[in-house]
Amino acid sequence: MNKNILNATINAILSKGKGILAADETPSNIGKKFEVLHIENTAENRRRYREMLFAAPGIETYISGVIMQDETINQFNSHGQEFSAALKEKGVLSGIKVDLGVAPFNDDSIETITKGLEGLGERLDRYKEHHATFAKWRAVIHIDPSQGKPTTEAIRANVEALAKYALICQQHDIVPIVEPEVLMDGVHSLDVSHQVTSTVLSTLFDALNQKGVYLEGILLKPNMVIAGLMCPDQPTPERVAQKTLDCFKNTVSSDVPGIVFLSGGQRDDLAIKHLALMNQTTDLPWVLSFSYGRALQRKALTTWKGQDANVPAAQEAFIEQARLNSLATLGQL
């Protein structure tokens, strides 16, 4: 583990006013978005879509890193250059999703466990050849109090896998983005979300410490503390921001240099507003930024519609979302 390399990567990702574009949807997941817009889900169309985003003029002003999926990091732009190499020329770092999706946990119909530890080191070495400097692993936590979810066993198994992944990444001089996502799906209240997220993060940091993970060399990518999407009592943005910070102050080590939130299905404007409100709080021990997928891409995709003629307008829509999120990292609404 070369801590100097890890620290340099993190400092670049956490550059003031910048955040991460999460463009690591699997082909099947992006196919669902394409289907709504009547775009054929082919490797070439996925490549064209990624190029539209990555080649957007001025992307480097607001985006410090891009998370890719295996297919994408092996693809080339229309000029015959690897996406990762083209981004590197702009000063944008390339990251890679290294988990292999989820499987049922203990044959449960709700809870899952993330796969992908086997052969991880070899995959990381291969991705380093494609300029990858950071990685991502997502654990999924489901809330359903009526069925006693999440269970302690599922939380423990998922954070153990996250800790093992983080250590392997660091041993290969790759910065691990540690992503424990408590899903927004459900009717649970803001208080339940706070309780579950607190338990998950406390258990996570126990596991990270037990495995000897270098906390200054990770980035945390958590959910914000938000009520379930179907909860009848939806909190104000101010309550969400305060509850999230209260949770993190009690669970997240101050050694962690940065928290790069996932949007998790929030409305674009709320993802921006929540982040901005949190960044209006002073004396936080971490940099608070974004690692958004849908909240950065949604308007660009619906503008693009798979048509080359729409590329300039789609790129403008993407850059505008990136600019607004950049302002949110500075505490500006």
CB neighbour list of residue 11: distance below 8 Å, 6 or more residues apart: none
With 90 as the cut, is the pLDDT of residue 124 above it?
yes
Q: Above 90 in pLDDT, residue 265?
A: no
pLDDT at 107: 83
| CA quadruple 238, 244, 248, 249: dihedral, nearest 10 | 30
How many percent of the chain have pLDDT more than 90? 96
pLDDT at 146 over 90: no
Q: 214-241 burial, b for 16+ CB within 10 Å, e for fewer?
A: bbebbbbbbbbbbbbeebeeebebeebb
Q: Is 179 tagged catalytic?
A: yes
Active-site position among 25, 51, 160, 179: 179
Nearest residue to 190 (alpha-carbon basis) of 240, 155, 238: 240
Give the active site residue among 18, 97, 136, 221: 221
Distance CA 55, CA 280 (A): 32
pLDDT of residue 260: 98
Cα–Cα distance, 117 to 272 (Å, whole number) = 33
Q: In the structure encoding, which two tokens stand for residue 180, read together?
A: 């424990």
- pLDDT tops 90 at residue 171: yes
| Mean predicted confidence (pLDDT) in 17-25 | 97
Cα angle 135-279-252, degrees, rounded to a multiple of 5: 55
pTM of the model: 0.96
> Please, are residues 110 and 149 in contact by the beta-carbon 8 Å criterion?
yes
Domain boundaries of the chain, sorted by first residue: 3-329
Reply yes or no on whether the pLDDT at 270 is more than 90: yes
> Among this protein's residues, is 71 annotated catalytic?
no
Residue 228: what pLDDT? 94
- Per-residue pLDDT, averaged over 47-51, amounts to 98
Q: Taking residues 279-288, what's their average pLDDT?
A: 94
CATH tag, 3-329? 3.20.20.70
